[in-house]
Amino acid sequence: MSLTAPDFTYVADLVHRESAITLAPGKEYLVEARLLPVARDTGHGTVPALVAELKGRPMGELHRKVIDAMTTNETSWFRDRAPFTALADDLLGELIARRSRERKLRIWSAACSSGQEPYSIIMAITDRLAAAGFGLEVLATDLSEEMLERARAGRYNQLEVNRGLAANLLVRHFTRAGIGWQVSEELRRAVTFRSMNLAVPFPPMMQMDVIFLRNVLIYFDAPTKARVLNSMSRVLRPDGYLFLGGAETTINIDPRFERITSSGATVYRFRGEATG
């Protein structure tokens, strides 16, 4: 049974209300693909039956499962690689020089999904930071509690570790866990995982030297993008760096971010004052 227009509108409104993600008409196929496993796992069988159940219930765990399914994004180790190369080979040296008194960096993976991004960040820079006598704090946030649980556990199957993870890094930072792999305790200790909705006002946070906000803005409408970038400007240090996805930009949204190029990656530096 196909998803009806009213059912699609209901799911789109639910997702937008809870996450600010916009599902435009034409995304019916995506809703059906993401929600069919949820429908089967919860015993509803079909997506229309699942939506009917949602409509008859107050906001609760079933709604949260649907939102998690619709907000879970594709990820891999060192995704697109250029941002990690830029951070490790170009920007890290500048940051180490600027933070010579503090001897610590703070990095935020602002949509960490199942954890590959924050762990990739650590693997990319840990040796050089250690050589410089620097500490590292990594905050990793996501809207999906299911993804956060997976990220905290740090367990990945063979297919997942094959996606972008070099053999030498696998040997160094992972151990066998049954038929899968477990991230080392050292890496897991370096990350603080926290549930967070980027589309609402941020809680009190430490200032960040680097923020990875990759492949998130593309799901928001223009006003939400502007609000999120302004919130980021409150958290990012003026000489810090913001990484966006390859199809994302601050241009025509927030002119206070300076666009620079580093090792083939586009990076943004905040130049201004937060507003609002």
Judged by average pLDDT, the poorest of 53-62, 95-104, 223-232, 257-266 is 53-62
Residue 18 has pLDDT above 90, yes or no: no
The overall average pLDDT reported for the chain is: 91
The 10s digit of each residue's pLDDT in 63-122 is: 988 888 888 677 899 999 999 999 999 999 999 999 999 999 999 999 999 999 999 999
**What pLDDT was estimated at residue 273?**
66
Domain residue limits, the chain = 5-71, 82-270
H-state helical runs in the chain: 5-19, 28-41, 47-55, 61-71, 82-86, 92-98, 116-131, 145-153, 158-161, 167-173, 185-189, 222-235
N-term to C-term CA, the chain: 47
**What pLDDT was estimated at residue 68?**
85
Catalytic residue among 7, 68, 142, 209: 142
**What pLDDT was estimated at residue 191?**
97
CA angle 124, 125, 130 (to 5 degrees): 140
Residue 275 has pLDDT above 70, yes or no: no
- What is the architecture of the domain spanning 82-270? 3-Layer(aba) Sandwich (3.40)
- What is the pTM for the complete model shown? 0.86
Examine the residue annotation and report whether 239 is marked as an active-site residue of this protein: no
State which amino acid sits at residue 56.
G
Catalytic residue among 34, 79, 106, 237: 34
Confidence of residue 1 (pLDDT cuts 50, 70, 90): low
Two structure tokens written together for 178: 């049954």
Two structure tokens written together for 274: 């937060």
The 10s digit of each residue's pLDDT in 229-258 is: 999 999 999 889 999 998 899 999 999 999
The phi, psi pair for 162, rounded to 5°, reads -75, -15
**What pLDDT was estimated at residue 146?**
87
Q: Does domain 5-71 have CATH number 1.20.120.10?
A: no
Examine the residue annotation and report whether 90 is marked as an active-site residue of this protein: no
Two structure tokens written together for 120: 């990739």
